[in-house]
Amino acid sequence: MNNQFKDFLAIDLDKSVAPLNLVPSDQINFQNNIVKLKEIFRFIKKAADVSTFVDVPKQLLARLEESVTMFTEQSDKVNIKKEFKTTSEVASYYRQVFESILRYHSEFFEPSSNNVRLIALNSIINYGSELAEGFQGNLAKLVNDLETSIASSNNLFVELSNKSKSILIDNYAGVFEAEEKKHTAISRSWLTVGILATILFVIVFKISINHEWFPSTISMKNIVDGKTTTNEIFNYPLLISKYLIVSLIVFFIVFCFKQFSINKNLQIINQHRKNAINSYKLFEASLNRADTSSANLIMLQVAKAIYETVHTGYVGKGDSSNMSSQLIEMTKLGESK
């Protein structure tokens, strides 16, 4: 923006005040001419505003500069800083100014093909309006595209969240299913070993009794004066050995069935958790995707079913609570990975 336009835009016609020594009729004419100048000022200002952000062709810009120059001259006549000697001199001067402004206003807005300045200003204003409409259209399109992109991003985020949640749920179900199969195999192994050990112990125990492998007494013969006497006494070392052997065998049998109970308990717990997760997937599939509150409520109940203590009857409540805590730590570790 050149200095000429800056000076033009700095003009404030509201500050123009009629001299006090003008007669009332001339003061009215003064205000009417200020109104006419304001009309012209607003029209030129529109074109000047367009030229500040648009490259206006030189020919049109030259016409704009001419219009600014002519308006400044008329404005300066109204706001002249001159001291008049007499009242008649003031009245004469302002009446000439009023005639000049009236003629300037009429010529400025004259609808004629010869009015090149008005045509040039209209061209600049229309050019700016077209650019503004195009800019607004592009802006509206950009906003629409942005809103579409945001909506697509939100949908994609929801899809990815649902997908990641589904993958996480499948992973958890797979972990619990693997644990269930592992403990099923281990529990069967310990049950088989316990039964075989019990059968073998019963058979060996009966055979040992029938064949007196571990006699409880021993016979001691004494010969005195050619007479033989037999005394039976308890074989304490042998009885203690028999007791220790039987105790170890019984402990091993009890240990086998204890391991069976522990692993059977873990099998049922993991089966319960796997079924809970699979049930959540069925419930989630039946819900509306927008109903996140119901989905969160179901997830909360599933989490409660997964992590709460399950009493299967195979182990005591204290042991079951400890194993449940271990399972929670295991699932937390799996989640962190």
Convert the pLDDT of each residue in 104-136 to its tens digit: 888 888 877 778 878 888 888 887 666 655 555
For the chain, give percent helix, strand, coil, nearest 5: 80, 5, 15
Q: Residue 327's pLDDT band (boundaries 50, 70, 90)?
A: very low
Across 85-96, average pLDDT: 84
Local structure of residue 228 (DSSP, 8 states): E
- Of 143, 249, 273, 238, nearest to 196 (Cα)? 249
Q: Residue 318's pLDDT band (boundaries 50, 70, 90)?
A: low
The pLDDT mean for the chain works out to 76
115: amino acid identity, one letter: N
Segment 70-90, tens digit of pLDDT: 888 888 888 777 777 778 888
Q: How far apart are CA 152 and CA 158, in angstroms?
A: 10
This prediction has a pTM of 0.42
Give the best-scoring range by mean pLDDT among 246-250, 322-326, 331-335.
246-250
Show the tokens assigned to 11. 């003009």
Local structure of residue 13 (DSSP, 8 states): G
218 bridge partner residues:
233
Residue 330 or 36, more confident:
36
Segment 299-310, tens digit of pLDDT: 777 777 777 777
Residue spans of alpha helices (H) in 109-210: 116-210
Give the best-scoring range by mean pLDDT among 188-202, 204-218, 302-316.
188-202
